[in-house]
Amino acid sequence: MNQEEAKSFNALNIVLQSNYAELKKSFEQFGSWSGAWQKLKGDHNVDADAEWKKLAQHEVRLILKEDANFPAALKEIPWPPLGIFVKGNSDLFSHLASPMVGIVGTRKATTQGKELAKKIAKELVRRQVVIVSGLALGIDESAHWGAIEASGKTIAVLALGLDQVYPRQNIHLARKILELGGCLVSEYPIGSNSFPNRFIERNRIISGLGLGIVVIEAPEDSGALATARFALEQNREVFVMPGFSGHYNYVGSHKLLREGARLVTSAEDILEDLNLKEDSENISLPLENAKNLNLDEGQSRVLTVLRSAGKSLEVDEISQLLKIEPSSASRSLSFLLLGGIIKEGGGKYYL
């Protein structure tokens, strides 16, 4: 990590109030975060060094999109975070780490919905899957607790600075996440407050980190539906647990099913659809080489094309060579990326 770049990004993020468009424009205009900060710092009363020290005081690490240890899965999504703040185990983003699955749903969940979220999370982490959610009340917190009760790892993506926890009643939950080797993630600097739009913005990170998301109890106006939309744009799988016909908490869920989301009723369904091994307590994904991966036909074909090409290829090039839809190629690429088998740079994929 280039500390000057990170320090400058942190300062700019504060000054520009995490305005994604303005941050991106500054980087493109000046060619680097440090260059942008040198040009703009005279107009603002922000001490970059003092703000940088605050991160250390709160045990928060900043990982820029240009850094090698930035989550590979997030680099490929539309509107990728320019940097993420992490508190806890950032090794979870290593290409050798376990695969991730998001679990989302309404804050006003039923008792049955909460128990289901907890059950699914427990079963997934027992197969070494990392659970991603948003630490919100209802389904989110239940999914996190399920992972914790099974001694698994879970990631909470927040919509404010990591010197705070929202909602406040989940402070104990956040501490347990960290104690068991999970982490808290945000794209907002220390001291940032949560605003309604930030909850929507952070949802793209919840969906983008994993192979797919599981929707449990999503009313018609649920934020979980926004997460599902992001997942579809990112070529991630969307799994939906069905519920009672006509029940308010399932109106959005059933709409997703009508639109083509995958209906699942158990963790086994999810593992099967994601092509993760079901016959072992320890899944094989991801490992250091493709021999240990349980690749489906599409993933194998994509890997063969990359090997044969001997150069990096874009998604469209791969889809044309294989005569498949770009969305199908992108899903296979995501799986191979998360497995550490291929790499990505500049929108191209290579071995």
346: Cβ–Cβ under 8 A, 6 or more apart, which residues? 312
How far apart are alpha carbons 129 and 4 in whole angstroms?
A: 35
DSSP-assigned states of every residue in 126-154: TTTPEEEE---TTHHHHHHHHHHHTT--E
pLDDT at residue number 310: 63
Q: What is the DSSP letter of 291?
A: G
Residue type, 65: K
pLDDT at residue number 156: 98
Residue type, 281: E
Helix axes 3-15, 33-40, angle to 10 degrees: 50
Q: What is the DSSP letter of 168?
A: G
pLDDT at residue number 47: 94
Q: Which helix (H) or strand (E) holds 320?
A: helix 315-322
- List the one residue out of 165, 189, 187 whose CA is nearest residue 177: 165
pLDDT at residue number 286: 37
Within 249-322, residue ranges assigned H as helices are 251-258, 267-273, 297-309, 315-322
Q: Do the beta carbons of residue 21 and residue 80 sit within 8 Å? A: no
pLDDT at residue number 340: 76
Q: What is the DSSP letter of 313?
A: B
How far apart are alpha carbons 115 and 237 in whole angstroms?
A: 23
Q: Do the beta carbons of residue 136 and residue 167 sit within 8 Å? A: yes
Grouped pLDDT means (10 residues each) for the chain, 351 residues: 92 96 96 94 88 97 94 92 97 82 96 97 94 98 97 97 97 97 97 94 96 95 92 94 88 94 94 71 40 70 77 86 85 82 81 79
pLDDT at residue number 338: 76
| SS3 of residue 101 by DSSP | strand
How far apart are alpha carbons 85 and 282 in whole angstroms?
A: 30
- pLDDT single digits (tens) 292-344: 456 777 888 888 788 767 678 888 889 888 888 888 888 888 888 877 788 88
Tokens 């949560």 sit on residue: 194
Q: Is the pTM of this model over 0.95?
A: no
- All structural domains of the chain, each given as residue ranges with its CATH number in brackets, are 3-90 (no CATH), 95-156+169-183+196-273 (3.40.50.450), 290-350 (1.10.10.10)
Question: Backbone phi, then psi, for 216, in 5-degree steps?
Answer: -125, 115
Residue 306 token pair: 């990359």
